[in-house]
Amino acid sequence: MPDPNRASFAARVAALASLLLGAAATHATADPFSALIVADVPGAKITSAAAVAAAGDLPAHCRVQGTIPQTIHFELRLPLTGWNGKFYMAGCGGFCGSLEADRPGVVNALNHGLRRGYASATSDSGHAGTSVTDGRWALDNPGAEADWGWRSVTETARVSRDLVRAFYQRPAAHSYFAGCSTGGRMGLMSAQRFPLDFDGIIAGAPALDYTGLVATQAAWYVQANSDAAGKELLDRAKVPLIARSVMEACDADDGRRDGLIDDPRRCDWQPSRLRCTGPDGPDCLTAREIGVLDHWYMPVTGGDGQVLYPGGAPKGSEPFWPVWLSGMPGSKQPALMERFASDFLRYMAFVPDAGEAFDVRHYDFDRDPARLATMSRIYDAVDPDLSEFRERGGKLLLFHGWADPIVTPQRTLDYYDTVRARMGGNESTAQFARLFMLPGVDHCGLQPGPGAKSLEFDPLPALEAWVESNEAPDVLQIRWQMNDGSVRSRDVKAH
Ligand SMILES: [Ca+2]
Ligand SMILES: [Ca+2]
């Protein structure tokens, strides 16, 4: 039996679409959209719909906003001209918490799809926060934690696809998801648990082992840099000195002295090289500062020597530390790493919640990792079994910056190894899932790096060719616009 609600929803949206698509989009009035506002999308409520005129490189589109129970706010933009017949969904970063539909650039950006003619959606992941490091929403709120952890992407995709089908009178020919950081984790969650949702997934710098990263590694970073009174040990102003020393020592390891370290695991620079021979000064490191760096560059280990989180900060990531890891010189604000860890440990990591009295400096590496098990099942996208995603013809494009100091890259390499082992070996895995390790690239490429004013990296065209023409990507290009007007580029082969 056809669902009468669905039929009437589809009929109303279709009537609206014919009005809109038949008329000049820029002349559409608000009235036709009221049909969409009252339409009952199964399992969602449309709260607004409006025509938006073409502007810049964005086509005229119908902007639909709605909510999915309990409080997932989503936005879907339906091109009124030049729809490419496909659907695109963008992820979000950190703890998300706002509907960032006009985010610029290509990272977690809805308009990156719209610009290419996609019907494009994103969501706030199910809660409102004052910033991407605000975790207070998660206090005693397991429903919102499930939405952020795994539910918001599949629900937003489902509702969006219903709207797309009704609006254009045909389903999207292909569906894509693209996200970085938490958005990368969302992409892997989709491939692992909801493998039918997307034909192609971009998972950048995926925070896939979220509990290991934001509880255990982050607490390790913070505690290594704190004295008994909680005061920072590393002089923030010395980070550029460390960055220069590492680059001088290891830049040429890959055969090119170009400011990029191709594989930081081969860099043997040790913090003790900068040890002060006399009193402390701006050009050397004290014994305590060397101790901080020794901990930051190593894997997190428990009292029995067991590795609790792999990798550590990659050599070459130092230019990006002030924002993420060490804090900005001259500021008393903690770095983002500590702000993420504080709210995660207070409101998101444990059942029951630890609450606001919990200090990241009290995280116990022997006892607390085991207490993450419950929320690990909600947040962590670590399952290497991608059989269903492969069988439905899905393609997964992973990338990670080799100079990412916050979502450190080793965990992604380890995950990809487990996928290769589970999915029949390297060659078999490369048929549907490829990883690109990007030299010199910060977390999601958000900071372009020393001497550069911008960085361009867009794997979407390569993923489209893979999904739609079965042309697997062997090489992806990164381009930097340098401050001196020159262009630096790197072709990166699949790992
Ligand atoms: Ca909670
Ligand atoms: Ca180099």
CB under 8 Å to 298, separation ≥6 — which residues?
A: 312
* Nearest-angstrom CA–CA distance, 243 and 259: 11
What's the 352 CA to ligand 1 centre distance in angstroms? 7
| Residue 306 Cα distances to 84, 160, 249, 299, 366, angstroms | 51, 45, 30, 10, 10
pLDDT of residue 23: 46
* Nearest-angstrom CA–CA distance, 56 and 244: 40
What's the 248 CA to ligand 2 centre distance in angstroms? 10
What's the 239 CA to ligand 2 centre distance in angstroms? 20
Ligand nearest to the CA of 139: 1
pLDDT of residue 9: 60
What's the 215 CA to ligand 1 centre distance in angstroms? 14
* Nearest-angstrom CA–CA distance, 186 and 379: 9
What's the 125 CA to ligand 1 centre distance in angstroms? 15
CB under 8 Å to 46, separation ≥6 — which residues?
A: 36, 37, 38, 39, 64, 65, 66
pLDDT of residue 33: 57
What's the 405 CA to ligand 1 centre distance in angstroms? 26
List the shell of residues around ion ligand 2, using CB closer than 5 Å. 251, 254, 256, 258, 260
Ligand nearest to the CA of 351: 1
Ligand nearest to the CA of 315: 2
Do the bridges between strand 487-493 and strand 452-456 make them parallel or antiparallel, or are there none, so unpaired? unpaired
> What is the model's pTM?
0.94
Ligand nearest to the CA of 138: 1
CB under 8 Å to 155, separation ≥6 — which residues?
A: 43, 44, 68, 72, 147
What's the 300 CA to ligand 2 centre distance in angstroms? 27
Tokens 């509990």 sit on residue:
211
CB under 8 Å to 279, separation ≥6 — which residues?
A: none
What's the 91 CA to ligand 1 centre distance in angstroms? 22
Strands in 99-204 per DSSP E = 119-123, 175-180, 200-204
- Residue 88, H or E segment: strand 87-90
What's the 319 CA to ligand 1 centre distance in angstroms? 34
Tokens 């990241």 sit on residue:
360
Q: List the chain pLDDT tens, one digit each, 495 residues.
A: 444 445 556 666 666 666 565 544 444 444 445 555 555 678 899 888 888 999 999 999 999 999 999 999 999 999 999 999 999 999 999 999 999 999 999 999 999 999 999 999 999 999 999 999 999 999 999 999 999 999 999 999 999 999 998 888 899 999 999 999 999 999 999 999 999 999 999 999 999 999 999 999 999 999 999 999 999 999 999 999 999 999 999 999 999 999 999 999 999 999 999 999 999 999 999 999 999 999 999 999 998 999 999 999 999 999 999 999 999 999 999 999 999 999 999 999 999 999 999 999 999 999 999 999 999 999 999 999 999 999 999 999 999 999 999 999 999 999 999 999 999 999 999 999 999 999 999 999 999 999 999 999 999 999 999 999 999 999 999 999 999 999 999 999 999
Q: What is the three-class DSSP state of 401?
A: strand
Tokens 């539909």 sit on residue:
101
